Amino acid sequence: MKSKNDFECKICGVTEFNFDVRKSDYTYVVCAGCGTSIIYPLPTERILNEFYEIYFEDGGNYLQTRELDKNVYFNDYDQTFSDLFFELKPQWKYLDVGCATGIFLDYLKEKKCVDTKGIDVSSEMIKNANRKGLNCTTEDLLSLNQKFNLITLWDVLEHFIDPKQSLKKVHQLLEKDGNLIIQTPCRGIISQQLKDEWRHYNPPQHIYLFNQNSLFRLLTSTNFMIVNWIRIGSGNTAGTIPLNSKKIFDTISKNLGIGDNIILWAKRRD
Ligand SMILES: [Zn+2]
């Protein structure tokens, strides 16, 4: 166990870390206090900005795939909300953080929820969202000051340099009794088995890889109450194993509650 005096876990404040994995010139260390795996040293804002610019420049394919798979995404959202016993309300105000081309806002529109806003770091993605007539901008989360009834973070919490600061801001942006939905990778049995082959070791984008306890701890410490959660994903990315096998493994992982992603619903506490 090594003490890193220059580095403190933003989740639990501990300064002791163990080596986790080495991946594409980056090192992940595990916090001895909460078990979160974190890129060490943290990537700088400059490196991240450069990375995302190049990453999304070639975003054409990614964007098209998303639009083609629209029904798959919509069915997944239906399933998720039904699993969580969560109901969308047409009169609510919605914010989707990391909205990309706005596929979730498209879904909300179909559900007659029209007061929506999306933000994303990628101007390329936002241009595409705007072309569809969606209310999306490249504003920074920390600069917003409206109020919302539901804020969604689909696969974005792991990208933040300081997830605690971001969640404090989300808390501020929510109405009293407001709702938060987070989907993020989740360390556990599957990541332990796959070691450095785990699909979510994805530097420099995936900075924080939580386990269920460290994520719950982060939410409690930022004044959220967890209402419900599910764990999905068997660790297999589409196309790497036969579809039938993937379905079976995914179902088993979900039913056992060991999936390598977590989706949770939390409510703002005062
Ligand atoms: Zn920690």
What gap in Å lies between CA 25 and CA 22, rounded to an integer? 7
- Give the distance (Å) from ligand 1 centre to CA of residue 101: 33
Q: In whole angstroms, how far apart are CA 69 and each of 63, 74, 165, 250?
A: 10, 9, 33, 19
CB 258 within 8 A of CB 234: no
26: helix, strand or coil: strand
Side chain identity at residue 113, one-letter code? C
- pTM for this entry: 0.94
Reply yes or no on whether the pLDDT at 58 is more than 90: no
- Give the distance (Å) from ligand 1 centre to CA of residue 212: 12
- Give the distance (Å) from ligand 1 centre to CA of residue 76: 31
- Give the distance (Å) from ligand 1 centre to CA of residue 9: 5
Reply yes or no on whether the pLDDT at 160 is more than 90: yes
Report, as an integer, the average pLDDT of 52-56: 75
pLDDT at 148: 98
Helical segments of 146-261, H only? 163-173, 189-194, 212-221, 243-256
pLDDT at 264: 98
Percent of the chain having pLDDT more than 70?
94
Instruction: Tell me what the pLDDT averaged over the chain comes to.
Output: 93
57: helix, strand or coil: helix
The more confident residue out of 179 and 237 is: 179
- Give the distance (Å) from ligand 1 centre to CA of residue 187: 14
- Give the distance (Å) from ligand 1 centre to CA of residue 34: 4
Reply yes or no on whether the pLDDT at 27 is more than 90: yes
Residue-wise pLDDT for 74-120, tens only, equals: 999 999 999 999 999 999 999 999 999 999 999 999 999 999 999 99
Confidence of residue 190 (pLDDT cuts 50, 70, 90): very high
- 10 Å Cβ neighbour count for 225? 12
- Give the distance (Å) from ligand 1 centre to CA of residue 179: 25
Report, as an integer, the average pLDDT of 204-215: 97
- Give the distance (Å) from ligand 1 centre to CA of residue 13: 6
- Give the distance (Å) from ligand 1 centre to CA of residue 192: 18
Percent of the chain having pLDDT more than 90?
84
- Give the distance (Å) from ligand 1 centre to CA of residue 165: 15
Residue-wise pLDDT for 235-245, tens only, equals: 998 888 999 99
Reply yes or no on whether the pLDDT at 150 is more than 90: yes
- Give the distance (Å) from ligand 1 centre to CA of residue 11: 5
Q: Which CATH superfamily is domain 61-268 in?
A: Vaccinia Virus protein VP39 (3.40.50.150)
Reply yes or no on whether the pLDDT at 45 is more than 70: yes
Here the tokens at position 153 are: 């973070």
Reply yes or no on whether the pLDDT at 34 is more than 70: yes
- Give the distance (Å) from ligand 1 centre to CA of residue 223: 18
In sequence order, what are the beta bridge partners of 16? 3
